[in-house]
């Protein structure tokens, strides 16, 4: 049984068998191997159907406060993925000084070089409903919504890594919000939280330094 099956349930797709090498890691290895990979390509690692399966399972099973299920996701592949990073490039070009834009454009090109992008949203109409009906926790619901979104981002990111993709998490919202909603007919109540470009890694992640866990954890018994 693959790691994704352990997380999300059984799947009998032949593609999962073909990619068993990527999905037999234990949970701890998967967590450690999920890194920010900036150098990515458009080469397919798994089928689009498998990507959809991963996202569907993640959205369905990631927890949310009061089981509100406020998370919303849009997956952009192919020309739609390219379009997103062209929109982002053009938006930033109007804001970033010309003499500083070259590095920004390099980033946009790098993200556009990937296979696809996952857009993460939270549905404000769900959050507002909870605030109206559970007024005692009114101030907490937006915070809990962000926490749930973070868990969903982690699950999808780690799942993509298990399948052989590399990814990063970007935040060009709210600068691109209006154009994104217009281009893909996104409901007005959906608030853009993050963008996750992904693709086949063409270079490893940079070395990562860790602070001593003793400075970050208190353990009592």
User: What are the pLDDT digits (tens) for 145-154?
Assistant: 999 999 999 9
22-204 CATH: 3.40.109.10
Look at residue 25 in the predicted model and tell me its pLDDT. 74
3-state secondary structure of 38: coil
Please give the Cα distance from 50 to 173 (Å, whole number).
28
Tokens of 59: 């959205």
C-alpha Rg value of the chain to the nearest Å: 19
For the stretch 157-196, pLDDT in tens is: 999 999 999 999 999 999 999 999 999 999 999 999 999 9
- Whether pTM > 0.85 for this model: the answer is yes
On the question of pLDDT at 80 being above 50, the answer is: yes
Sorted by where each begins, the domain ranges of the chain are 22-204
């Amino acid at each position: 049984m693959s790691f994704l099956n352990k997380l999300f349930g059984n799947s009998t797709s032949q593609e999962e068998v073909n990619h068993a090498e990527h999905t037999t890691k234990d949970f701890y290895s998967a967590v450690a191997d999920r890194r920010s990979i900036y150098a990515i390509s458009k080469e397919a690692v798994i089928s689009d159907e498998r990507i959809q399966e991963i996202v569907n399972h993640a959205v369905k099973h990631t927890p949310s406060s009061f089981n509100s299920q406020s998370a919303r996701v849009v997956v952009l592949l192919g020309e739609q993925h390219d379009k997103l990073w062209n929109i982002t490039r053009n938006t930033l070009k109007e804001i970033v000084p010309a003499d500083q834009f070259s590095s920004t454009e390099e980033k946009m090109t790098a993200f556009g070089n990937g296979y696809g992008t996952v857009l993460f949203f939270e549905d404000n109409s769900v959050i507002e409903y909870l605030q109206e009906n559970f007024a005692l926790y009114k101030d907490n619901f937006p915070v809990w919504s962000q926490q749930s979104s973070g868990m969903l981002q982690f699950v999808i990111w780690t799942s993509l890594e298990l399948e052989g993709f590399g990814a990063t998490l970007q935040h060009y919202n709210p600068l691109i919000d209006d154009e994104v909603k217009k281009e893909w007919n996104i409901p007005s109540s959906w608030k853009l939280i993050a963008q996750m470009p992904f693709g086949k890694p063409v270079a490893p992640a940079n070395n990562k330094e860790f602070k001593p866990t003793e400075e970050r954890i208190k353990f009592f018994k």
